[in-house]
Amino acid sequence: MSAPAIELRDLTRHFRVKTGLFGEARHVVAVDGVSFSVPAGGVLGVVGESGCGKSTLARVILGLLPATSGDVLVDGQRLSALDRRARARLIQPVFQDPFSSLNPRRRIRDIVALPLVAQGGIAEAEIRRRVDEGLERVGLDPAMGERLPAQLSGGQRQRVAIARALVLRPRIVICDEPTSALDVSVQAQILNLLAELRRDLGLTYLFISHNLAVVEHVATEVAVMYLGRIVERRPTEALFAAPEHPYTKALLASVLTPEPGLGIPDVGLGDLMPDPANIPPGCRFHPRCPVAVERCRTDPPRPRTGRGIEVECHLATV
């Protein structure tokens, strides 16, 4: 068995946020002791509501933000021990918004070439060849390389972002809401492309999304994040078949499948939205939990494992 593609060990990231000129600095705990590993070739879907820390997690794994504590290992190597160029050869991002993640003044060809140019020492002809190959692989005509991002549709731009991510032939791609800004028909095209690329190139994905139906379709394993912690992590099919954590249950209940006549489910979570600057004592989910008991208010649950389930809940059956 080779090393996992991604391994997190007790990863934590805090922010100090000052609100207003004289406001007191608030301590925001975005990622709070997250550990997991993703095997090479796997797809870990990370789901959770806004503010749960999933995008911060992506940025720390990409090395765009330093960790407050804990370790990120990529392909068995400590991320903090790698320089930027080595990191870029291993792990690359695809972000949500193809409208803001591409430089509007640069030709598509130069955008895709940038990671190669940044590596240094690659001949121009080789760069040209690899950019053409990269554009073709994501289903774009290499002639499109001469255009500017504004001349492309949203789906085409996201293909450019994927081509740029793959041009260094990384092993791991961090997809942060890669289809959330796209139309339904285009979303399906991009999801199919990502699946095809993973199969052909043996990629590993960390796939962050708020859309559970999308995650169900692409992920081999799902991690549910709530206020900076992973509260449940399991193989996709098992998680969708029999969710264990009350928060997972609520998330799954709120997926609206296109089946008429089923009505809108009662999620039963109440209105209290979680605030990462003010994490409740005990189980951090207890103020919204429909089944919380006394103990949940004071006693933080520890991770429990069994039957392939990893869950943080006092009431879990494992």
The residues that touch other proteins, with contacts defined as CB under 8 A, are 49-50, 153, 155-156, 183-189, 191-192, 195-196, 210-214, 216-217, 236-237, 240, 250-267, 269, 271, 273
Q: Residue 125 or residue 264: which is nearer to other proteins going by CB?
A: 264
Taking the complex as a whole, how short is the minimal distance between the CB of residue 167 and other proteins, in angstroms?
A: 23
Q: Residue 121 or residue 258: which is nearer to other proteins going by CB?
A: 258
- Between CA 138 and CA 58 the distance in angstroms is 23
158 neighbors 98 (Cβ within 8 angstroms)? yes
Q: Residue 168 or residue 204: which is nearer to other proteins going by CB?
A: 204
Task: Please state the length of the chain.
Answer: 318
Taking the complex as a whole, how short is the minimal distance between the CB of residue 169 and other proteins, in angstroms?
A: 23
- Between CA 76 and CA 197 the distance in angstroms is 23
Q: Residue 116 or residue 208: which is nearer to other proteins going by CB?
A: 208
Q: Residue 130 or residue 286: which is nearer to other proteins going by CB?
A: 286
- Between CA 75 and CA 258 the distance in angstroms is 40
Q: Residue 130 or residue 284: which is nearer to other proteins going by CB?
A: 284
Structure tokens at 96: 């949500």
Structure tokens at 86: 């080595």
How do 6-18 and 204-208 pair as beta strands? unpaired
Q: Residue 167 or residue 193: which is nearer to other proteins going by CB?
A: 193
Question: Alpha-carbon torsion 239, 240, 244, 246, what sign?
Answer: positive
Taking the complex as a whole, how short is the minimal distance between the CB of residue 191 and other proteins, in angstroms?
A: 6
3-state per-residue secondary structure call for 99-137: CCCCCCCCCHHHHHHHHHHHHCCCCHHHHHHHHHHHHHH
Taking the complex as a whole, how short is the minimal distance between the CB of residue 144 and other proteins, in angstroms?
A: 13
Taking the complex as a whole, how short is the minimal distance between the CB of residue 123 and other proteins, in angstroms?
A: 35
Taking the complex as a whole, how short is the minimal distance between the CB of residue 89 and other proteins, in angstroms?
A: 29
35 neighbors 11 (Cβ within 8 angstroms)? yes
Taking the complex as a whole, how short is the minimal distance between the CB of residue 62 and other proteins, in angstroms?
A: 24
- CA–CA distance from 222 to each of 38, 104, 260, 285 (Å)? 10, 35, 27, 19
